[in-house]
Amino acid sequence: MPMALSLAAEFPAATEAQWRAAVDAVLKGKPFDRTLVGRTADGIAIQPLYPRAPSAHALAGRAASLPWTIVQRVDQPDAGDANAQALDDLTNGASGLALVRRGGIGDRRGDGLDLDHLADLDRVLDGVMLDLIPVRIDAGTAATHVAAMFAAKVKRDGLDPKSLQIAFGIDPIGAFGRRGTLESWDGAAAKLADAALGLEAHGFAGTTFMADGRVIHDAGGTEAQELAFVLGSAVTYLRVMERAGLPLARAARAISVMLATDADQFLSIAKIRAIRKLWARVEQACGLEPSRLDVHAETAWRMTTRVDPAVNWLRTTLACFAAGIGGADHVTVQPWTAAIGLPDAFARRVARNTQLILIEESNLHRVADPAAGSGGIETLTSELCERAWALFQEYERAGGLVQALSAGTVQAAVAKARAERLTRIATRREPLTGASEFPNVHEARPDVLPVSRRPQVTSAASIDLPPAAKGERFQAQVAAYAGGAPRAALMRPKTDTIFVDPLVPGRLAEPFEVLRDRLDAATAKAGSRPKVFLAVLGQVADFTARATFARNLFEAGGFDAPIPEPFASQNELSLLFRESSARIACICSSDALYAAEAMPVAEALKAAGATQVWLAGKPGEQAEAYEAAGVSGFIYAGCDVVDCLGKAAAVVE
């Protein structure tokens, strides 16, 4: 048999011109660019068709045929409970851990680990073989303290630091962006250099610093803004280490990056690929041979929903797929109930198994950079690189990323991007399944764990630390923790001198969730869910499309809006409205029937006691006449759904 079968050999080759002619025939005069070309939040055009990129090469990422690290978050406040979760995760397929301390970048709910003593770290890691698994630390402003605890533990336990894969996650720029305060960059940089040299002296071979893009993504930023922030952070840390005397090649290897991946799998794949190309460009500019960057990815916080949370299974699967295909070295999947509260064992199991199935059953890791050569992915990667590099250069011209944050430049750009995205969400041009589209108002909320937190140690006998210099301060911290000191003994009163607007994390579904909370409260008070009476006119074919649209819209706000059978008469419609206990009605039918019946029906509904009467469809030139007949507002594709639902909710509260 031939080695290859050319199944399409007998068909004539198609050309792009032929395809375009066929498309134009279907469009019937509609503009191609506005109809079939989309735009990302960064303004990148998404074409409907891309040719293959024949000159593309696979990007250097994970070692060939090796899976990424399946990282599980350890964020249970109690150290003993956290240890039980970690051991369960490792026993059942996880291959790495992320210790998310209270106040870390990943601690969005505010219930992260209590790590205040070396004893806490010992309890969390009891039975964990540190020489076999990678560990990532996410501790925010306490990162150098947790690093010192680790150093004390490793020395006491007789472990070889060179054999450990610990990403210490020190990221004062990310913490500054998230909190909005900083003592001064000179002071922070001195402590940063001191910690780097201290860890170097201990012989650790993992990465010291984390350039964390989740700060931008959580706050609603674009992909290019996230990449530019990561690049600006990494270059700043590179300069700090160079000034501290570390060789540039070693300094470059001490930096890892963290990116968020979401349900837009193509953009997420391109983003992971783009950071490798961008970092290689930085290394070349430094006179270094490009090396392999250690890339962490976490499924996005901002895409998760509290309402219809089972849809989060789909979102996190897509995001995990994108991270794996894009070439991330370590992937963390947010449990599907993370937006509701502390995930239980089942939610953590689903997070693990999402990755295990993609690796063990789908074998996604077997091919190095499988997106290489794809015209669409290669174009997205290149466009993201160009835009991120341009933003990075803007930060550099401003004096660096810290200066750009201090001036509010970064925050203003992110706020603009977030506002634009929230407008698209409010008008449902960017749908959120289960929240703004296809809601389930009768859902049962899943279980989450109760949060048990011990009182925080805020004072202790103060231990003097030497000034930050060549690692002496870090060594003193290590000795203090080894001796049993709490973190409070090593802390000093805040001396922050820079105060800016923080990059506050938020989820995209929150405007709809707030509405659902309002209606849930009204439901609990009244004993039944508030209803919207759909006043359907004509036969099924006349009203089904708009009635389905109206039901979807009102239930996104927490109303119950069942679609009734056709009404025999206007009198029957008015009678059933009175019996429905609804205070809101929505007229649903075709434009032809609206012309003849909408106004008298609106008047009849108002007479029957309707506080609000909505009409499904654009009113056109009849808007004033409809309003005079009692129509309160209009719902249609592209309207501000959040505003409409807010007005409706006010009636039933």
Residue ranges making up the domain that contains 77: 69-436+495-499
Which carries the bigger pLDDT value, residue 40 or residue 10?
Answer: 40
- Residues 240 and 332 placed together within one structural domain of the fold: yes
- Residues 289 and 386 placed together within one structural domain of the fold: yes
Q: Is 463 a residue whose pLDDT tops 60?
A: yes
pLDDT at 64: 72
Residue 176 resides in a domain: yes
- Residue 57's nearest CA partner among 296, 233, 277 is 277
- Residues 517 and 381 placed together within one structural domain of the fold: no
Residue 468 resides in a domain: no
pLDDT at 457: 67
- Residues 406 and 536 placed together within one structural domain of the fold: no
468 SS3 class: coil
CB-based contacts of 252-255 (< 8 A; 24+ apart in sequence)? 252/283, 252/286, 252/288, 252/291, 253/207, 253/291, 254/196, 254/207, 254/208, 254/209, 255/207, 255/208, 255/209, 255/210, 255/211, 255/293, 255/294
User: Domain tally for the chain?
Assistant: 2
Q: Would you mind telling me the total number of residues written for the chain in this entry?
A: 653
Residue 401 resides in a domain: yes
- Residues 214 and 351 placed together within one structural domain of the fold: yes
Tell me the β-bridge partners of 633: 614
227-259 pLDDT, tens per residue? 999 999 999 999 999 999 999 999 999 999 999
Q: Is 480 a residue whose pLDDT tops 80?
A: yes
Residue 411 resides in a domain: yes
pLDDT at 286: 94
pLDDT at 347: 97
Listed residues 476, 499, 522: the one ending a domain: 499
Q: How many other CB atoms are found less than 10 A from the CB of residue 509?
A: 24
- Residues 409 and 532 placed together within one structural domain of the fold: no
* Mean pLDDT in residue range 180-195: 94
Tell me the β-bridge partners of 296: 258, 330
Q: Check which CATH number belongs to the domain holding 622 and give it.
A: 3.40.50.280
Residue 637 resides in a domain: yes
pLDDT at 11: 81
- Residues 192 and 274 placed together within one structural domain of the fold: yes
Q: Is 484 a residue whose pLDDT tops 90?
A: yes
- Residues 399 and 515 placed together within one structural domain of the fold: no
Q: Is 120 a residue whose pLDDT tops 90?
A: yes
Q: Determine how β-strand 633-635 pairs with β-strand 612-616.
A: parallel
pLDDT at 493: 77
Strands (DSSP E) along 394-491, which ranges? none
Q: Is 3 a residue whose pLDDT tops 70?
A: no
- Residues 558 and 429 placed together within one structural domain of the fold: no
- Residue 453: pLDDT band (50, 70, 90) is confident
Q: Check which CATH number belongs to the domain holding 77 and give it.
A: 3.20.20.240
With a CB cutoff of 8 Å and minimum separation 6, the contacts of 305 are 311, 312, 339, 432, 434, 435, 507, 509, 513
Listed residues 499, 529, 552: the one ending a domain: 499
| 1-10, 206-215, 364-373, 620-629: least confident range | 1-10
Q: Determine how β-strand 135-138 pairs with β-strand 96-100.
A: parallel
Q: What is the mean pLDDT of the chain?
A: 94
Q: Is 458 a residue whose pLDDT tops 80?
A: no
Spatial distance between the Cα atoms of 364 and 321, rounded to a whole number of angstroms:
8
To the question of pTM greater than 0.85 for the whole model, the response is yes
Spatial distance between the Cα atoms of 404 and 400, rounded to a whole number of angstroms:
6
In angstroms, the first-to-last Cα distance of the chain is 74
259-306 pLDDT, tens per residue? 999 999 999 999 999 999 999 999 999 999 998 899 999 999 999 999
CA angle 474, 476, 477 (to 5 degrees): 65
pLDDT at 357: 97
Residue 484 resides in a domain: no
67-115 pLDDT, tens per residue? 999 999 999 999 999 999 999 999 999 999 999 999 999 999 999 999 9
Tell me the β-bridge partners of 331: 70, 297
Question: Above pLDDT 90, what percent of the chain?
Answer: 88
Listed residues 469, 499, 529: the one ending a domain: 499
Q: Is 63 a residue whose pLDDT tops 90?
A: no
pLDDT at 4: 63
6-19 pLDDT, tens per residue? 777 778 888 889 99
Q: How many other CB atoms are found less than 10 A from the CB of residue 123?
A: 17
Q: Is 5 a residue whose pLDDT tops 70?
A: no
* Mean pLDDT in residue range 555-573: 94
- Residue 116: pLDDT band (50, 70, 90) is very high
Spatial distance between the Cα atoms of 213 and 211, rounded to a whole number of angstroms:
7
- Residue 255's nearest CA partner among 160, 174, 324, 155 is 174
Residue 184 resides in a domain: yes
Ramachandran sector of residue 605 (left: φ over 0; alpha: ψ -120 to 50; beta: rest): alpha
pLDDT at 67: 95
Residue 458 resides in a domain: no
* Mean pLDDT in residue range 58-70: 87
497-511 pLDDT, tens per residue? 999 999 999 999 999
- Residues 518 and 390 placed together within one structural domain of the fold: no
- Residue 65: pLDDT band (50, 70, 90) is confident
- Residues 222 and 75 placed together within one structural domain of the fold: yes
526-556 pLDDT, tens per residue? 999 999 999 999 999 999 999 999 999 999 9
Spatial distance between the Cα atoms of 418 and 416, rounded to a whole number of angstroms:
5
pLDDT at 492: 76
Walk across the sheet containing 135-138 and list its strands: 166-167, 135-138, 96-100, 69-74, 330-332, 294-299, 255-261, 209-212
Spatial distance between the Cα atoms of 273 and 53, rounded to a whole number of angstroms:
15
